Structure 1
Amino acid sequence: MKKIVIVGAGPAGLTAAFELLKAPEQYEVVILEESQEIGGISRTVRYHGNRMDIGGHRFFSKDKRVMDWWFSLMPLQGAPSFDDYVLDRSKPLADRGPDPEEEDRVMLVRDRVSRIYYRKKFFDYPVSLKVQTLRNMGFLQTMGAGFSYLKSLVYKRKEQSLEDFYVNRFGKVLYSMFFESYTEKVWGRHPSQMSAEWGAQRVKGLSITAVLKDMLHKASGKKDGGQVETSLIEQFYYPKFGPGQLWETAAAEILKMGGEIRMGCPVSDVKVENGRIVSVSYQTENGKKTVEGDVFLSSMPVKDLVASFSGTPVPADVLRVAAGLPYRDFITVGLLVDKLNLKNETAMSTLANIVPDCWIYIQEPEVHIGRLQIFNNWSPYLVEDPERTVWIGLEYFANEGDELWSMPEAEFISFAASELEKIGIISQADIRDSHLEHVKKAYPAYFDTYEEMDKVVGYLDGIENLFCIGRNGQHRYNNMDHSMLTAMEAVKNIRAGVSSKENVWNVNTEKEYHEQKKA
Structure 2
Amino acid sequence: MHCPYPNGNQMKDPIVILGGGPCGLSCAWELAAQGWDVVVLEREPRPGGLCATNTFGEYRFDLGGHRFLSQNQELTSRILDLMGADMLVSERKSVVMHSGKRFAYPLSAPDLVENLGLGLNLKALLGYAGELIRRRISPRDESHFEGWVTARFGRPLYDRFFGPYTEKLWGIPPTQISSDWAAQRISLLNLGDAALRLIGLRRSPIRTYARRYYYPRLGMGQLFDRMASRMCREGGIIHLGADVTGLDVVGNRVKAVRYHVDGQEYLLPCSWVFSTISLPALARYIAPQSTNGVETAIGNLRSRALRFLNIPLDIPDFSENTWMYIAEPQYKMSRIQEPKRRSSEMVPQGKTSIMLEIPCSVGDKIWEADGNTLFQEMSLELRSLGYNIDSVALDHHSVWVEHGYPIYHLGYQHDRDTLLAEVAKMENVLTGGRQGIFRYIFLDTAMEMGIEAAHQIMQGSRNLKHIQSIRTEKALLEIDALTAT
Q: Do these two structures clear the TM 0.5 threshold for a shared fold by scoring above it?
A: yes
Q: Deviations over 1:243-279 (max 9, x none)?
A: 0010111011011101000111101011111111111
Is 1:486 matched with 2:449?
yes
Matched, 1:382 2:391: no
1:420 aligned residue: 382
Question: Equivalents in 2 of 1:109, 1:152: separation in Å?
Answer: 43
Deviation at 1:72, TM superposition (A): 2.4
How far 1:162 moved relative to its partner?
A: 0.9
The answer to whether the 8 Å contact 2:187/2:208 transfers is no
List per-residue Cα deviations over 1:302-327 (Å, max 9, x = no partner). Answer: 122222236x8433321331133111
User: CA–CA distance in 1 between the matches of 2:251 and 2:454?
Assistant: 23
Give, in angstroms, the shift of residue 210 of structure 1: 7.0
- TM-score by length of structure 2 reads 0.89
1:213 is displaced (CA, Å) by: 9.0
User: 1:250, 1:228 → 2: CA distance?
Assistant: 36
**Residue 321 of structure 1 corresponds to which residue in structure 2?**
297
Please report how far the alpha carbon of residue 373 of structure 1 lies from its aligned counterpart in structure 2 after TM superposition: 0.3
Aligned residues: CA RMSD: 2.5
Deviation of the 1:151 alpha carbon? 4.3
- Matched letter for residue 443 of structure 1: Y
Residue 64 (structure 1) aligns with: 73
- 1:254 aligns to what? 231
How far apart are 1:390 and its partner, in Å?
2.5
Q: Structure 2: give runs of 5+ residues left out of the alignment.
A: 1-11, 480-485
Change (3 A) 1:499 1:133: closer
Residue in 1 that maps onto 2:16 = 5
AA in 1 matched with 2:440: Y
Tell me, in whole angstroms, the C-alpha distance in 2 between the residues paired with 1:71 and 1:153: 48
Q: State the Cα distance separating 1:2 from its structure 2 match.
A: 6.7
Structure 1 residue corresponding to 2:319, chosen from 352, 355, 371 = 355
- SS of corresponding position for 1:308: helix
Q: Which one-letter code corresponds to 1:326 in the other structure?
A: R
CA distance in structure 1 between the aligned counterparts of 2:392 and 2:356, rounded to whole angstroms: 16
1:111 to 91, 94, 100: 91
1:414-493 pair list within 5 angstroms: 414-447=376-409, 450=412, 451-493=414-456
Q: Tell me how far apart the structure 1 counterparts of residues 197 and 31 of structure 2 sit (CA, whole Å).
A: 40
**2:113 counterpart residue number:** 134
Counterpart residue number, 1:296 = 273
Alpha-carbon shift at residue 115 of structure 1 (Å): 0.4
CA distance in 2, matches of 1:230, 1:68: 24
AA in 1 matched with 2:113: L
Could you say if the C-alpha distance between residues 411 and 448 of structure 1 is closer, same or farther in structure 2, counting changes exceeding 3 Å?
Answer: farther
Bigger mean CA deviation after superposition, 285-294 or 62-71? 62-71
Contact 1:306/1:319 (<8 A) preserved: no
Partner Cα distance (1:207, 1:473) in 2 = 33
Which residue in the other structure is 2:357 paired with? 395
Q: CA deviation at 1:429?
A: 2.2
Give 1:51's aligned residue: 60
CA contact (8 A) 1:358 1:375 kept: yes
User: Larger deviation: 293-302 or 54-63?
Assistant: 54-63
| Cα-to-partner distance string for 1:132-178 (whole Å, 9 max, x where unaligned) | 54232111001222333344456253312011222233332222222
Deviation at 1:506, TM superposition (A): 0.9
Residue matched to 1:40? 49
Query: How far 1:180 sits from its partner (Å)?
Result: 1.0
Alignment of 1:257-268 (within 5 A): 257-268=234-245
Q: CA deviation at 1:430?
A: 2.4
Structure 1 residues 402 and 395, CA gap change in structure 2 (3 angstroms): same
Alpha-carbon separation, structure 2, partners of 1:153 and 1:68: 47
Q: Percent identity?
A: 29
Query: Aligned equivalents of 1:215 and 1:238: distance in 2?
Result: 34
| CA distance in structure 2 between the partners assigned to 1:308 and 1:297 by the alignment | 13
| Aligned-pair CA distance for 1:203 | 4.3
Q: Could you tell me which residue of structure 2 aligns to residue 506 of structure 1?
A: 469
| Cα distance change of structure 1 residues 273 and 228 upon mapping to structure 2, 3 Å threshold | farther
Measured in 2, the distance between the counterparts of 1:463 and 1:183 equals 37
Structure 1 residue 298: deviation in Å?
Answer: 0.4
Look up the match of 1:332: 308
Listed as ranges, the gaps of 5+ residues in structure 1 are 76-104, 340-350
Q: Which amino acid aligns with 2:159?
A: S
Counterparts of 2:450 and 2:265, CA distance in 1: 28
Structure 2 counterpart of 1:462, one-letter code: K
Counterpart residue identity of residue 114, structure 2: R
Structure 2 letter corresponding to 1:71: L
Q: Which residue is 1:280 aligned to?
A: 257
| Alpha-carbon spacing, 1:44–1:211, altered in 2? closer, same or farther (3 Å) | farther
Partner secondary structure for residue 454 of structure 2: helix
Q: CA offsets per residue over residues 90-119 of structure 1, 9 Å max, x none?
A: xxxxxxxxxxxxxxx522221221100001
How far did residue 206 of structure 1 move?
5.5
Cα separation, 2, equivalents of 1:10 and 1:206:
34
How far apart in 2 are the matches of 1:14 and 1:162?
34
Q: What SS does the corresponding residue of 1:332 show, helix, strand or coil?
A: strand
Partner of 1:194: 177
- Work out the CA distance in 1 between the residues paired with 2:198 and 2:68: 24
Change (3 A) 1:477 1:142: same
SS in 1 for 2:374: helix
The answer (yes or no) to whether the contact 2:305–2:360 under 8 Å persists in 1 is: yes
CA 1:369–1:213 in structure 2 vs 1: closer, same or farther (change >3 Å)? same
Kept in 1, the 8 Å contact 2:308–2:358? The answer is: yes
Q: Tell me the matched-pair count.
A: 462
Change (3 A) 1:175 1:12: same
What is the TM-score normalised by the length of structure 1?
A: 0.83
Q: For residues 249 and 193 of structure 2, what CA distance do their matches in structure 1 show?
A: 48
Residues 352-407 of structure 1, C-alpha deviations (whole Å, 9 max, x = no match)? x443211100023321111000112111110112x3x3310011000000111111
Bigger Cα displacement from structure 2, 153-162 vs 376-385: 153-162
Residue 149 (1) aligns with residue 128 (2) = yes
| Per-residue deviation, 1:509 | 2.1
The letter for the 1-side match of 2:353 is W
